[in-house]
Structure 1
């Protein structure tokens, strides 16, 4: 008699995944998230979650970069004095033709003052942490409370409007950074209330469908416009440096 053939590696792998999916589906976690009821499996959810994370991971860096362009809490006081000859260090800035220049508002714009640059880098790191924390909280609440396979993170569009239109490039707008943050906080509370009472869904239905569709295209064009302005480091209004 011929010896029975050993199952192939792919067959054994499929068998392992089947056992794993059955184990998770019968566990408290599987019942909590209703994997069997929704005709899903643990490995399917794992692949979907990984794909969603890889699709959205860019937001962690891009959101922080865009908001940093507003200048954050950095101000002229973070700029350091410089020598009138930029090739000479501050300690060697002595002589009849040299003088130490006190920073003014121009230190925030290219060429950016080294002290202001350090402040921007610290702000960028803080914003990365804030983006991660807010995304984590949103995803956990969506998964545990709503039990829906949706990932939540800061969206592109409103952050660019906040940074380049409301606050302005490196604070060149009419609204201070902290005031704009307070407005965003109040806006969030308003959206929470109207969503909790169900008014937000009704409000969305009142908006004509062509307006809803064109809004997405408009936001895309706005982001493209911001990207082109940043690439040229120029704006259409205000000073010659900050985009507006």
Structure 2
């Protein structure tokens, strides 16, 4: 029955291979279980509720992907999207987390409409490739900055705004050790290196605490009284419904929230799914990934499920490449990954007790490094491109806002294009976004 449904023989795989691939993908993605509660917790959300929402939403989304699209792709709350959710939409724009969840819910529906209507290609062609690459890389820099700040490696300074903290402080030293360990594992091509790095760093943190080094510091890992226990915290379930009342009270604010969420989700998901589809060999004669529209559909539905359960946008993970590299070629890989995510709810106290900011710092830094790698594809010889990408990166970090970084990138791109006599090459869609961004930058929301 499984062979007929997933077409094992046709895809050159078998049940054992798919199960192993699913486990591999889960281990490569599992770091999100510790990182997401830390990031969303900064926005005022209860970490136990975020953990439950992350585990269940990821599990359900993976299973949908496996059954509907039959792609061996895992899904979870996206890195970068969770930062956008907390540090821009909640803290930067002053929204409540309930309002932010409502925005995620609507943006996921918009993404679903874009997928069903076939507008994806038109939107892809409207945005310059270099801007897409620059925004993705900028988010990578931003994530690394968040990790370093959360661990105390980067701290505030009255004279220079930011400076390096004391590396001998327990949280900072633990984070530094974690970065070194995780980087070594990744360079050595160790499978699930980020997750293993988290585990090893957490264990070292517990040893530090047990020896009295950093004991009492809330940032240091500590094993809870009940190591293994289910924690079914449903406090965030349908929280988005409470946010709808405030969502439409400020229309410019709503437009900017939705645009930022849809923009980042769209290009992150498109790039990830197309790359993974090609890695699986799902390519037709025209070089397009076969069945990718169903994968987009599953991704959009996953985002809706995530908002309902109480987490930031759920999207496809490039770490799925680990499972695909181990032979995963069908939806069963994604289903196995989803089941493991759901089972992880039984380990909530352990994960939440161990995966504090210094422990998750390494994951944010390493993911940031991976995201900035796409800068190699930017056309740096073109000053218009170089200026806009540079401003996107530097303003996203310095303003502590993903949407402001995007706004600066678009405006600088338009101004530089006008100066270079290339304004006619920009479509009406670009100019419409530039007008919105100018209003956002000069008049706020």
Q: Give the TM-score normalised by structure 1.
A: 0.59
Match for residue 227 of structure 1 among 147, 159, 165: 147
1:44 aligns with 2:17: yes
Matching residue of 1:187: 107
Match for residue 133 of structure 1 among 44, 47, 56: 56
Distance 1:139 1:154 in 2: 11
1:56 aligns with 2:29: yes
Quick check: 1:66–1:159 contact (8 Å CA) kept in 2?
yes
Distance 2:36 2:79 in 1: 7
Aligned length: 160
What is the CA distance between 1:198 and its match in structure 2? 1.7
Distance 2:34 2:64 in 1: 23
Distance 2:101 2:40 in 1: 11
Distance 1:235 1:49 in 2: 42
The aligned runs of 1:48-197 (5 Å cut-off) are 48-72=21-45, 123-168=46-91, 174-197=94-117
Distance 2:112 2:31 in 1: 26
Quick check: 1:64–1:128 contact (8 Å CA) kept in 2?
yes
Distance 1:194 1:235 in 2: 42
What is the CA distance between 1:148 and its match in structure 2? 1.0
1:204 aligns with 2:127: no
What is the CA distance between 1:190 and its match in structure 2? 0.9
**Two-structure CA RMSD over aligned residues (Å):** 2.4
What is the CA distance between 1:173 and its match in structure 2? 5.3
Question: Deviating runs (4+, > 4 A) in structure 1?
Answer: 233-237
Q: Give the TM-score normalised by structure 2.
A: 0.34
Mark the structure with the bigger radius of gyration. 1
Q: From the superposition, tell whether residues 47 and 195 of structure 1 become closer, same or farther in structure 2 (CA, over 3 Å).
A: same
Gaps (5+ residues) in structure 2?
162-398, 401-445
Quick check: 1:195–1:201 contact (8 Å CA) kept in 2?
no
Gaps (5+ residues) in structure 1?
1-27, 73-122
Instruction: With a CA cutoff of 8 Å and minimum separation of 6, indicate the structure with the bigger relative contact order.
Output: 2
Distance 2:79 2:12 in 1: 33
What is the CA distance between 1:236 and its match in structure 2? 8.9
What is the CA distance between 1:68 and its match in structure 2? 0.7
Q: Which has the higher helix share?
A: 2
